Amino acid sequence: MVKILLKFSESLVGKPITSEIVLKYNVPINIITANITSKGGEFLAEIPDEALEKMVKAFRQRGLIVTLPKLIEIDEKECFSCGACITICPVEALEFDTDFSLVFNKEKCLGSTCNACVDACPAKAINSVG
Amino acid sequence: MEDIKIPTKKNFRTVEEINEKIRNGDVQVLTALEMKKLVESSGVEIALKEVDVVTTGTFGAMCSSGALINVGHSDPPIKIQRAWMNDVEVCHPGAAVDLFIGATQMSEEQPFDYGGGHLIEDLIRGKEVELRATSYGTDCYPRTQISTNLTKDDLNQFYLLNFRNCYQRYVCAVNSLDQTIYTYMGKLLPRFRNANFSGAGELNPLMNDLTYETIGLGTRIFLGGAQGYVIGEGTQHDPKNRFGTIMVKGNCKDMSPEFIQGASFTNYGTTLYVGLGIPIPILNEELVKKTAIRDEDIFTDIVDYGIPRRARPKIGKVNYKDLKSGLIDVNGKRVRTSSLSSFKKAKQVSELLKLWIENQDFYLTTPVEKLPTDTVFKPMKQTQETSFVSNVMHNAITCTEDEEIQSIANRIVTNSVNHIVVIDESGKLRGIVTSWDVTKAMAERKNQLSSVVSRRVVTAKPEEPLETASRKMAQHNISALPVINSERKVLGIVTAEDVSRLLGK
């Protein structure tokens, strides 16, 4: 599965674009986070690897902005493995190894749609990256 | 001062004998984690025979840390009155050019991101920092301002002088509120969604010698990657409640940034992470038992940091084994735990200290005065009464949801108030309308109250300190809080004017 970030402008919010594309291509997508109001918004979705290209194309044709979400990066020189970020992460992308070293599971991270860990780090070792 | 009590039973070995063994290269040192395993597998007797020293360690945020520096005299000389280093104000407690860098003092340019802790780390790293100082000028010290760049090599003395370090254990923090709070115990998610703790548990230096039999003034320790000393009890030392602390000093010029690191807690401030380890000489059987203490034997309280009072509510107990497992039980709910101190670094401290002793780089000391075991930590004596919401709240002007805008407008004018609290038939809070909402509704020719009511109301409780209520209003940029009881029944209202009348804000 690949995560993509889909942005709606105000003019697109009223249209059932996602449902139409899912029905047309018969590709299941998993919506992980969504923040959409009448003024537009974005949602983060997981798409099967093999369908990525055609789905991105389809969303873009309907006027959505499709990007890969920005992830976080941990500065290993600054991180002292306290673990303050671990419980803040809603998808358990941050955890301890058996020796209490911090491990970051990139594939689970929600990236810029979440960023909850960034301000929880006392070493300020977590940065949002593009 | 009372002499150190010599145990009636003769010790199995002495510190002098241990140092002799270090010199001969046949000293037996275990880290506290290794010692616990040995005692469990082979028993106390064998451990006593085989082990000379047990090394401990901790690495955590220690806010009451700082560094004393002497910057030397300028020409013409200045008697520094106020000074800043990298825009962090440093305290000037002494004669002319002695300065104290407090770990929690924040930069004036980048508060919350850079502070005294970072400044100490930068100096230890060998970085150049900017000193700016001002003064009033005297006949002997005529200079009134100076600006210069310094590294640690330019300083005469650069000593870490931490007046409260190495808490024996600490509480576990949770948050009962509906919103995330940022505290010195880290980021606490709403409604008990996480629990933060600090401390190395069974590896903590003071936990491995619970009664401070071998620790006191003059004990040589691992401090920030160099050798330092215990110089007495720390402030707030509370031995009876197992919240012992120590005061320490060490030469920053010898320290390593690997074990001294500036840090910042979002919306709280800056601090210093300190690596600290104490060697425990295994003099007798009692010390074997003491160093065998396990995480499951070390309990601490789960405390609600959502209530900003001195006596924060305790809502349970937990041991360090469960805290380190990552999941604890809080009132029947499974809650994930995060540590704020680094257990990985704590282990490194204990391992490095072991290596130093084995390599004849570190010799043990006998304290010349032990840490007190009977002091108590008193709360502040307050000579002014604290004001509570109940002291200033007054009756709220209320309405129900089915009323029309026009009648609300009349009520605002008749009572000359800005806030009308919306209640249901049983007096429970449903919302709030302000004179601004009503004006807006009338301008837009709306007549239904429901279209302008704010449903998410920030409220206060009568027993809440006025300071807390005032902070809430400032944070949410509002000017009044309905006062409710636990059943959400409206008891009154407190406004920004009430607060400013009493607190002068």
Contacts of A123 in chain B (CB under 8 A): 261, 263, 273
What is the C-alpha to C-alpha distance for residues B413 and B286, in angstroms, rounded to an integer? Answer: 77
Taking residues B306-314, report their average pLDDT.
91
Taking residues B251-279, report their average pLDDT.
98
Per-residue pLDDT for B43 more than 60? yes
Same fold, A2-67 and A72-128: yes
B503 pLDDT tier (thresholds 50, 70, 90): confident
Q: What is the pTM of this model?
A: 0.87
Query: What CATH number belongs to A2-67?
Result: 3.30.70.260
What is the C-alpha to C-alpha distance for residues B476 and B117, in angstroms, rounded to an integer? Answer: 31
Q: Does domain A72-128 have CATH number 3.10.180.10?
A: no
What is the C-alpha to C-alpha distance for residues A61 and A21, in angstroms, rounded to an integer? Answer: 11
Catalytic residue among B63, B91, B140, B399: B140
Positive or negative, the CA dihedral B208, B209, B214, B217 is: positive
Taking residues B470-476, report their average pLDDT.
91
Per-residue pLDDT for B240 more than 60? yes
User: B102-152 pLDDT, tens per residue?
Assistant: 999 999 999 999 999 999 999 999 999 999 999 999 999 999 999 999 999
Give the mutation candidate from A78, A80, A101 for the B interface (greatest B CB count, under 10 A).
Answer: A80
Burial B184-220 (b: 16+ CB within 10 A, else e): bbbbbbeebbbbbbbbbbbbbbbbbbbebbbbbbebb
Say whether B399 is catalytic.
no
Domain boundaries, chain B: 17-62+161-361, 72-155, 389-503
Burial B40-73 (b: 16+ CB within 10 A, else e): eeeeeeebbeebbbbbbbbbbbbbbbbbbbbbee
**Taking CB atoms and an 8 Å limit, are A100 and B186 in contact across chains?**
no
Q: Tokens standing for B65? A: 């840390």
**Taking CB atoms and an 8 Å limit, are A88 and B187 in contact across chains?**
yes
Per-residue pLDDT for B429 more than 90? yes
Both ends of chain A: CA-CA distance in Å? 20
A130 pLDDT tier (thresholds 50, 70, 90): low
Q: Chain B interface residues facing chain A, Cβ-Cβ under 8 Å?
A: 59-61, 113, 182, 186-187, 189, 193-196, 261, 263-266, 271, 273, 326, 336-345, 347
Q: Please enumerate in sequence order all residues whose Cβ is within 8 A of that of B333, keeping only pairs 6 or more positions apart, or say none.
A: B192
Per-residue pLDDT for B450 more than 90? no
**Taking CB atoms and an 8 Å limit, are A122 and B187 in contact across chains?**
no
B348 pLDDT tier (thresholds 50, 70, 90): very high
Identity of the residue numbered B450 = S
Contacts of A87 in chain B (CB under 8 A): 189, 193-196, 336-338
**Taking CB atoms and an 8 Å limit, are B338 and A123 in contact across chains?**
no
Please state, for a pLDDT cut of 90, what percent of chain A lies above it: 48
Q: Tell me the DSSP string of B33-73.
A: HHHHHHHHHH-HHHHHHH-SEEE--EEEE-SS-EEEEE---
Q: State the virtual CA torsion across B346, B351, B357, B362 in degrees, nearest 10.
A: -30
To the nearest whole Å, the CA of B338 is away from the closest chain A CA by 5
Identity of the residue numbered B328 = I
pLDDT of residue A52: 86
**Taking CB atoms and an 8 Å limit, are A84 and B271 in contact across chains?**
no
Alpha helices in chain A (DSSP H): 17-25, 52-61
To the nearest whole Å, the CA of B227 is away from the closest chain A CA by 21
A67 pLDDT tier (thresholds 50, 70, 90): confident
**Which of the two residues, A125 and A32, has the higher pLDDT score?**
A125
Chains A, B: CB contacts within 8 A come to 70
pLDDT of residue B306: 93
Taking residues B36-54, report their average pLDDT.
97
Q: Tokens standing for B83? A: 């000074």
Give the mutation candidate from A75, A77, A78, A87 for the B interface (greatest B CB count, under 10 A).
Answer: A87
What is the C-alpha to C-alpha distance for residues B51 and A116, in angstroms, rounded to an integer? Answer: 46
Taking residues B42-60, report their average pLDDT.
97
Q: Chain A interface residues facing chain B, Cβ-Cβ under 8 Å?
A: 80-88, 96, 99-101, 119-120, 122-124
Nearest by CB: A120 against B60, B187, B326: B187
Burial B279-291 (b: 16+ CB within 10 A, else e): bbbbbbebbbebb
Taking residues B276-286, report their average pLDDT.
97
Contacts of A103 in chain B (CB under 8 A): none
What is the C-alpha to C-alpha distance for residues A4 and A111, in angstroms, rounded to an integer? Answer: 10
Give the mutation candidate from A74, A76, A88 for the B interface (greatest B CB count, under 10 A).
Answer: A88
- In chain B, the residue whose alpha carbon lies closest to the alpha carbon of A78 is B261
Contacts of A101 in chain B (CB under 8 A): 344
Of A22-31, A62-71, B253-262, the range with the lowest mean pLDDT is: A62-71
Domain boundaries, chain A: 2-67, 72-128
B4 pLDDT tier (thresholds 50, 70, 90): low
Per-residue pLDDT for B6 more than 60? no
Of A36-40, B136-140, B201-205, B297-301, the range with the lowest mean pLDDT is: A36-40
Query: What CATH number belongs to B389-503?
Result: 3.10.580.10
Contacts of A80 in chain B (CB under 8 A): 59, 261, 273, 342, 344-345
Contacts of B337 in chain A (CB under 8 A): 87
pLDDT of residue B244: 95
Nearest by CB: A80 against B189, B193, B345: B345
Q: How far is CA B387 from the centre of its chain?
A: 26
Give the Cβ contact number of residue A34 at 10 Å: 13
> HSE (CB half, 13 Å, CA atoms) of B330?
24
Taking residues A59-81, report their average pLDDT.
91
B5 pLDDT tier (thresholds 50, 70, 90): low
Nearest by CB: A81 against B264, B271, B344: B344
What is the C-alpha to C-alpha distance for residues B408 and B434, in angstroms, rounded to an integer? Answer: 10
Taking residues B307-316, report their average pLDDT.
92
pLDDT of residue A1: 82
B9 pLDDT tier (thresholds 50, 70, 90): low
What is the C-alpha to C-alpha distance for residues B448 and B433, in angstroms, rounded to an integer? Answer: 12
Contacts of A85 in chain B (CB under 8 A): 338
pLDDT of residue B359: 98
B384 pLDDT tier (thresholds 50, 70, 90): confident
pLDDT of residue A32: 86
Per-residue pLDDT for A114 more than 90? no
Taking residues A50-71, report their average pLDDT.
88
Please state, for a pLDDT cut of 70, what percent of chain B lies above it: 98
Of B6-10, B20-24, B88-92, B116-120, the range with the lowest mean pLDDT is: B6-10
Taking residues B65-93, report their average pLDDT.
96
CB burial class (10 A; 0-12, 13-18, 19+) of residue B311? exposed
B505 pLDDT tier (thresholds 50, 70, 90): low
